[in-house]
Amino acid sequence: MMVTKKWKVDKFVDNLKSYPQIREAASLLKANEVVAFPTETVYGLGGNALSDEAIKKIYEAKGRPSDNPLIVHVSSVKQLDDLCSGLNEQAEELIKAFWPGPLTLILPSTGHVSEKVTAGLSTVAIRMPEDPIAKAVIEASGLPIAAPSANLSGRPSPTTAAHVLRDLDGRVAGVIDGGETGVGVESTVVDCTSKPITILRPGGITKEQLEAVIGEVGEDPALTGQDKAPKSPGMKYRHYAPAAPVYIVHGGMERIKEVLQQANNENKKTGVLTTDENKDGYPEADFVVACGRRSVPESVAHHLYQALREFDDTDVEIIFSESFPNEGIGAAIMNRLTKAAGGREL
């Protein structure tokens, strides 16, 4: 087991890329080691996107299936010249509107990145993160950085450095602690090679926001049917899951109370994932976690992974989750919950 270096970095200081911690992390990336760092969505596990060696280390550290493509992170639009073979008008409009930010574009690949990044596809997923630390690390390394979420494969994505270390301490070269992330769920992934442009993974930028810029936006059938090679991370495998099985319950509080009673009759330790408004409404449950305010769905997205991880510090045997409206940021929330539940719904 390797020794994982740990750095504390204040993202609000000037000229971040000159800081010793950032330079050391960038040096490790240039040596084809892997380093975790914060983005505005979740913590990413970064490696040199041009290196088969580095990408192999990402997959090994996470225990991630190698047919699950990775997102390449850049710090400038100029880097796209080496990575993709052209931008259509709509892709350019999305870049102007949402970069830097939580939007990933699927673009035709030049083939310069490692085949392990694209999982053998002719396209490459690229985004420009907004977080100052992520930007500084990429700039200091001088490389495009492939970075999936910095967690063991299948676990809830990390929104703090402590989450990263819980999963990956001793498995990666370094972790930059830049505090808690902002959005809390991963980027929206859109396929710019399709007509119309199609959402492959809902995330921090909503369908409504995209359509306000480019008009009609489609949604990929693979969001519900996993029968083809995934162009985007998060499309094929169970993700974001705590140790105990999760069930999404439709029908409101009364329905959850019914299934809680059934589980209690079977002497199971129960957990409920709810919101601030309802957290005192489940005295039948052994453990209740609120993941934000239902009236402010952005707060639910922000706290969702933290809430799912809290159940792992308990002895619950089954978790019942409230459901959310499948619109706006709620589409991303329900996508992540559905993955965490492995499709189990009541």
123 is in an annotated binding site: yes
76 is in an annotated binding site: no
Phi, psi of 67, deg, nearest 5:
-95, 15
240 is in an annotated binding site: yes
147 is in an annotated binding site: yes
136 is in an annotated binding site: no
Nearest in space to 304 (alpha carbons), one of 151, 122, 157, 174? 157
187 is in an annotated binding site: yes
Q: What is the DSSP string of 66-134?
A: TTS--EEE-SSGGGHHHHBS---HHHHHHHHHH-SSSEEEEEEB-S-S-HHHHTT-SEEEEE----HHH
Q: Cα 321 from chain centroid?
A: 20
Question: Which strands sit side by side in the sheet containing 318-322, from one edge to the other?
Answer: 246-249, 318-322, 270-274, 287-290
Cα–Cα distance between 123 and 93 in angstroms, integer? 19
23 is in an annotated binding site: no
Cα–Cα distance between 189 and 38 in angstroms, integer? 19
25 is in an annotated binding site: no
For 272, the token pair is 């409920």
238 is in an annotated binding site: no
157 is in an annotated binding site: yes
End-to-end CA distance of the chain: 42
For the four alpha carbons of 163, 63, 246 and 300, in that order, the dihedral sign comes to: positive
Per the annotation, binding residues are 41, 64, 68, 73, 123, 127, 147, 149, 157, 187, 201, 240
Per the annotation, binding residues for L-threonine are 41, 68, 73, 127, 147, 187
Per the annotation, binding residues for ATP are 64, 123, 149, 157, 201, 240
